[in-house]
Amino acid sequence: MPRIKSFAPSWLNEPAPGHKLFESPADDANTSASPFLYGKKPKPSPRRTIARRGTQVFVAVGKQIRWGDLAYLKESWEARQARSGSGGRIKRESPGTPFDSYDDGTTGNGYGEEGPAEAYRTIKTPVADDIRQLVMSPNQDFLAVLTRHTVHICILPDSSHLHTRDPAPFKPKFWTLGPTTHVTSRSAVVSAVWHPLGVNGTALVTVTEDAVVRVWELSTADRWTFDAPTLAVDLKRLADGTSLDQNFGVSTSATNKGFSPDSFDMEVAAACFPARGSGGWSPMTLWVAMTGGDVYALCPLLPQRWAPPPTLIPSLSVSIVARVAAAEDNPEAPPESRLLAQQQLDWMSDLDNQEPKIAESAIGETAAGVYTRPTRPGIVPKLQGPFDFDLNPEDEQDDEVELKDIYVIGEKADVDDLMMGEEEELEFSDDEETGLSLTVICLLSTSGQVKICLDVDGVEAQWLPPRPKHRGRAFSPDSETPSLLIFQTFDTLKPAEVVADSWPMFSEDITSRYSFYITHPAGITSVSLAPWVFRLESELQGDSEAGAEFRIDLLAQGQGSERERIYTQARGQTALAAATAISDPDLGHFVLSATHNDPVVLFFDTPEPGIASRESSTAIAEQMEQPQEAPGWEPRPLFHPAEALDRRSSMPVWIDHLQKGRRRPLLQQEVRLSMATLEVFHEGHKVVCTEVSDLNDAVAELFRKCEALQSELRSQIYTANEVKKRIDTLTGEDSADDEPVSENQIVQNRIRAAREKQEELASRMETLKRKLGRATTRELSDKEKAWADEVRSLGSSILGPEGPEGPEADQTPPTMSKAKQPWKRLEEIKALQKSLFSHAAQLQKTGEGAGDEPSASPLPSMKIPSEIRRAKMSQVIGLLDRETVLVDAVKSRIERLSLG
């Protein structure tokens, strides 16, 4: 979820010129003060009074439209604050101040004597009622201005015409859309949506409260395009239709009609199209939400001339061919399925027979091919619905649901199979390539409840069957009702925050198409579907190797949609305008909304590029899980005093009304007890009571805010002191020495202390390692025990009786069981050596004593050459030396092993 960095900046608050974008006109202050004096309270309707074009915003205030360039407003205000040398409030009494004569919004706003140049202007409109909605066209050259019953199209000029030093209100070209259609005597207009497939964004679809859909194809060169729609469909007639030959147009009879169940069940609350880059039939599907809770789909709804994306028609052609092949291969396919496949084939054949024309596009944009709406099988599609809701919560009653808005996220464009084998690769955004292969429908009710629904079956183009030539061959109506799977349901409002006449609204986000904002009377809520969208897509594609039941349980019990209240409005304040997300390198990433007098701005941390992709979403989720260090201060919204403190009293208006009315004689005579006097006092009491009650609430809120401000100020002072102490500790300025110490010396002392501390820690570490090595008495393993036994046996076998005593010393290794022990062999060799030496010495003495005389010994004389004797002796001595060396080596090894 986005982290709030700051709230309303100084360049949008008083006394900056940017604040006047949102101020109510002076003549509207008293109109809302006492509703019982000026007629009935207006009916609730969506309040989308902010539209943007780059860094420029258009704000509807009453019957006016204010234009402002936010980048220039910020730059000029900061430059002026820098020149003044202070960031504080500029006094109006000072000479040459920028706001000397700008109270009426017509002269002097800080740019010299020329007036509000280049940053703020008022656009004069021909509307007769308060503006409810502003809808910007895709190419940002048209602005649809909606009141409750009328629609006006403003031809937006280039920004250079608005950046002029002219304080007078700007008067652009306005066209009245349907001067005989959208009038006060007919049904109210609830939605005006620019068709995503319109040529250069000039196709507008209006939906009225009585379920009438009109398609307008606007052209500034043809006035007739603003007078009559190219297609008008009455959804109530279409819902009851049985064949293509019927008339589904709008009735031109009198507005007073009798009661019918459809007039209640099909009261439209909102309508919308998915984005242009969506896949399948989504870009040409109009989703309509009824106030009673029903949802309908109209597909395909196209203008007479439309420009599809490059991959739309090829992808639809592939799906239609597959449907036709499946219907032909299945002999048991019902006739309705065969008819639908044939109708889609006829529709696609009509497109294939056309030669698209290249439409003129803006500089830098790719030219798109323009097609004509197919006439076969018909131009009016079938109304699909009402959809059944699978897994609907049991505690929710259908009669309690009152839908107010709908937001549809189309399925992702599946272009992998389509572009296989193609040499040229088309460029697609991350949102078009990644995401969910199902359409997501979000429904918002008056109570703030949000339903996240999935279109599992997929909405495709459908038409009513043709009128049968024979009565007996009529097609039966569809036995299966289309359904939507409710994936998640959550609330964005507390029960105490629910207002009966409120109108919550969806607003799209610019960071990802799977995140949006919800604006309700209590504040603004941010919602993100990213935690489960990409995980669900991986399950649908079968990327996981786990079992189906395990994956379904993991998905059902896993993390759902993230939601967070990013702004909370004080209870009793005016309704908020629908949030508008803006991201600009000069301005930052923020959300802009407004009350009737003040802006509401929330600045976020700048989002990373490619936030909608699966990998980046995972990385961002991991970053969000890591704890972030909180700053020394917490951003909080700017406090705006209640409007009752600035509202003019309605007592003078009531007294003037009384002096001119039929009760005028009562003011010139003494007070008498009569019914007329009672009525006057009763009306006066209602006026005074209303004002006093509002003033009491406003003063109480102001008092509570002042008390809270004191505690917040104390906490901020405490936090600032703590930060100062930490800085002084790091820099060494908290030392009590009187002698001054240079910063270089402080750094050197810190480095020396760090080195000493490092050496001390290293020595302690070595000491601990030695102690740990000696103190460790862990049990020997089996291999270590066997090796120790072998060493002891070898030592006892070599050392003999001088080795270790005990039963272990007598043990003999298995390898020596068949051979003599080394110490026994050594004793034998020594004994043999002694015997040989003694025998040799005896022979030598015998030979010397006999001389030349023959020996008297009975033994025969043996003459052994001296060379042989010497060789044998040297050989024996060598063997003895070798054995001695071997024994010494073994003994030294045993000693080393014993010491180790």
Q: How confident is the model at residue 420 (pLDDT cuts 50, 70, 90)?
A: low
Contact 518, 525 (CB under 8 A): yes
Residue 783: its pLDDT value, please? 87
Residue 395: its pLDDT value, please? 46
- Average pLDDT, stretch 660-673? 78
The overall pTM is greater than 0.75: no
The CA R_g of the chain, rounded to the nearest whole Å, is: 47
**What is the side-by-side order of every strand in the sheet holding 231-234?**
189-194, 203-208, 212-217, 231-234
DSSP 104-163: TSSS-SSS-TT-S-SSEEEE----SS---EEEE-TTSSEEEEE-SS-EEEEEPPPHHHHS
DSSP state of 222: -
Beta bridge partners, 564, equal 526
Residue 646: its pLDDT value, please? 76
**Strand 189-194 versus strand 203-208 pairing type:** antiparallel
**Strand 133-136 versus strand 142-146 pairing type:** antiparallel
* Residue appearing with tokens 């006006």: 152
User: Is a pLDDT exceeding 60 seen at residue 899?
Assistant: yes
Q: Which residues contact 800 (CB under 8 A, 6 or more apart)?
A: 821, 823
**By mean pLDDT, which of 506-510, 603-607, 881-885 is the weakest?**
603-607
Residue 553: its pLDDT value, please? 60
Per residue in 493-524, pLDDT tens? 988 888 888 899 999 998 889 999 999 988 99
- The percentage of residues in the chain with a pLDDT greater than 90, rounded to a whole number, is 29
Task: Report the candidate in 88, 55, 87, 92 with the shortest Cα–Cα distance to residue 73.
Answer: 55
Contact 238, 378 (CB under 8 A): no
Phi and psi at residue 806, to the nearest 5°: 120, 175
Q: How far apart are CA 394 and CA 471, in angstroms?
A: 43
Q: How far apart are CA 769 and CA 773, in angstroms?
A: 6
Q: Which residues contact 90 (CB under 8 A, 6 or more apart)?
A: 15, 84, 97, 98, 99
Q: Which residues contact 860 (CB under 8 A, 6 or more apart)?
A: none
Q: Which residues contact 562 (CB under 8 A, 6 or more apart)?
A: 1, 527, 528, 530, 531
- Average pLDDT, stretch 517-543? 86
- Average pLDDT, stretch 748-776? 88
Residue 108: its pLDDT value, please? 42
**By mean pLDDT, which of 181-190, 614-623, 674-683, 765-774 is the weakest?**
614-623
* Residue appearing with tokens 């800085």: 727
User: Is a pLDDT exceeding 70 seen at residue 400?
Assistant: no
Contact 602, 507 (CB under 8 A): no
- Average pLDDT, stretch 544-573? 70
Contact 584, 604 (CB under 8 A): no
If phi over 0 gives left and psi between -120 and 50 gives alpha, with beta otherwise, what is residue 741? beta
User: Is a pLDDT exceeding 90 seen at residue 387?
Assistant: yes
User: Is a pLDDT exceeding 50 seen at residue 611?
Assistant: no
Contact 204, 194 (CB under 8 A): yes
Q: How far apart are CA 300 and CA 379, in angstroms?
A: 9
User: Is a pLDDT exceeding 60 seen at residue 442?
Assistant: yes
DSSP 819-876: S--HHHHHHHHHHHHHHHHHHHHHHHHHHHHHTTSPP-SSSPP----HHHHHHHHHHH
Q: Please indicate whether residue 837 or residue 808 has the higher confidence score (pLDDT).
A: 837
User: Is a pLDDT exceeding 80 seen at residue 846?
Assistant: no
Q: How far apart are CA 311 and CA 357, in angstroms?
A: 17
User: Is a pLDDT exceeding 80 seen at residue 408?
Assistant: yes
DSSP 632-676: SS---PPP---GGGTSPPSHHHHHHHHHHSTTGGGGGS----SHH
Q: Please indicate whether residue 31 or residue 597 has the higher confidence score (pLDDT).
A: 597
Give the C-alpha distances (Å, rounded to integers) separating 854 from 845, 864, 869.
15, 16, 21
Q: How far apart are CA 354 and CA 376, in angstroms?
A: 13
Contact 120, 20 (CB under 8 A): yes
Number of Cβ atoms within 10 Å of the Cβ of 364: 5
Q: Please indicate whether residue 151 or residue 475 has the higher confidence score (pLDDT).
A: 151
DSSP state of 224: G
Residue 628: its pLDDT value, please? 47
What contacts 24+ positions apart, CB below 8 Å, involve 23-28? Answer: 23/61, 23/105, 23/597, 24/61, 24/62, 24/596, 24/597, 25/61, 25/62, 25/64, 26/104, 28/62
Contact 499, 338 (CB under 8 A): no
